[in-house]
């Protein structure tokens, strides 16, 4: 499996993929964090869906990563696209047959691909966290937000916990993307369906019936990234979101190990 991971990482380090993916991730991290501080006095709110996040919240020990936790869902969508494309294109290009000639264990190939993509996603999250925290620190004085508690022991604990939560959420999104790539065998179809569901359909269902968000996968992963919300607890999101991820992983693994590899 180690060689599979190295081979997949070699694909993932292509400049077009790295610059495009990391560029999008850093852009969203910078944009969301900047709005959080620049619009702190806006009557329309400075957070998700018009929420107001005031100075009393941003001055807490967790203030340095408040913006970063809000961008976890967008980073997850980027991971979904990358995982789905890297998996489905093996069918599109017909390279999966060649891989199975060298490594006949299908689940070893699948596990190696997953590990490599997770490593890629973790690096993306760490870079995004660094940019978000840096922008928060740069804009704090302009927004008149005290930063005395940001880098205390509690502050560092908040940073570590937030990064871990965002990584977990991003991996969850990525697993969904990989599963869609295996099920649909088409990068365009898997990406479009995944983004459509997570970004549009779930929001529409939540607008019709807000309680539906308590049980939808994308909502749970977003809640994990934020460390819990006012309507969904962190433990509930971990249990429901984890069940979704495990369930779709098992389905995808069984189909991948039994279906013909042709597109």
Give the C-alpha separation, 71 to 58, whole Å: 16
Burial of 23 (0-12, 13-18, 19+ CB in 10 A): exposed
pLDDT at 134: 96
Number of other CB atoms surrounding residue 207 within 10 Å? 10
pLDDT of residue 45: 79
HEC readout, 177-196: HHHHHHHHCCHHHHHHHHHH
For the chain, 263 residues long, give each residue's pLDDT as a single digit of tens. Answer: 788 899 889 999 999 999 999 999 999 999 999 999 999 988 887 877 667 888 999 999 999 999 999 999 999 999 999 999 999 998 888 787 777 777 668 889 899 999 999 999 999 999 999 999 999 999 999 999 999 999 999 999 999 999 999 999 999 999 999 999 999 999 999 999 999 999 999 999 998 998 999 999 999 999 999 999 888 999 999 999 999 999 999 998 998 888 876 55
pLDDT for res 7: 86
The Cα–Cα gap between 232 and 1 comes to: 38
Cα torsion angle, 227, 232, 234, 240, sign: negative
Tokens of 61: 């020990």
Provide the terminal-to-terminal Cα distance of the chain, rounded to the nearest Å: 24
Cβ proximity of 214 and 239 under 8 Å: no
Q: Radius of gyration (Cα) for the chain, nearest Å?
A: 19
CA separation, residue 197 to residues 103, 156, 192 (Å) = 34, 35, 8
The residue with tokens 């070893």 is 108
Secondary structure (3-state) at 40: coil
Write down the H helix ranges in the chain: 2-12, 15-38, 55-58, 66-70, 72-92, 96-102, 106-140, 153-184, 187-195, 202-208, 217-226, 234-258
Q: What is the pLDDT of residue 188?
A: 94
3-class DSSP assignment, residue 95: coil
């Amino acid at each position: 499996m180690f060689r599979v991971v190295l081979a997949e990482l070699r694909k993932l380090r292509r400049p077009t993929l790295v610059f495009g993916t990391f560029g999008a991730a850093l852009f969203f991290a910078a944009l969301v964090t900047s709005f959080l501080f620049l619009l702190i006095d806006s009557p329309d709110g400075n957070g998700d869906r018009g929420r107001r996040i005031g100075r009393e919240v941003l001055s807490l020990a967790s203030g340095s990563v408040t913006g970063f936790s809000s961008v976890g869902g967008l980073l997850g969508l980027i991971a979904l696209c990358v995982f789905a494309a890297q998996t489905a294109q093996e069918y599109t290009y017909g390279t999966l047959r060649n891989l199975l000639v060298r490594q006949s264990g299908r689940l070893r190939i699948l596990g190696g691909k997953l590990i490599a993509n997770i490593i890629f996603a973790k690096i993306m999250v760490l870079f995004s966290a660094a940019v978000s925290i840096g922008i928060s620190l740069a804009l704090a004085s302009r927004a008149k937000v005290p930063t005395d508690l940001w880098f205390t022991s509690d502050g560092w604990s908040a940073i570590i916990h937030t990064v871990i939560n965002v990584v977990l959420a991003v991996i969850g999104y990525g697993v969904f993307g990989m599963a869609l790539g295996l099920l649909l065998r088409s990068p365009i179809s898997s990406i479009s369906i995944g983004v459509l569901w997570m970004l549009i359909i779930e929001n529409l269902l939540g607008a019709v019936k807000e309680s539906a968000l308590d049980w939808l996968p994308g909502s749970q992963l977003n809640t994990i990234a934020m460390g819990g919300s006012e309507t969904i607890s962190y433990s509930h999101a971990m249990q429901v979101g984890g069940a979704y991820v495990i369930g779709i992983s098992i389905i995808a693994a069984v189909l991948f190990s039994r279906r013909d590899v042709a597109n």
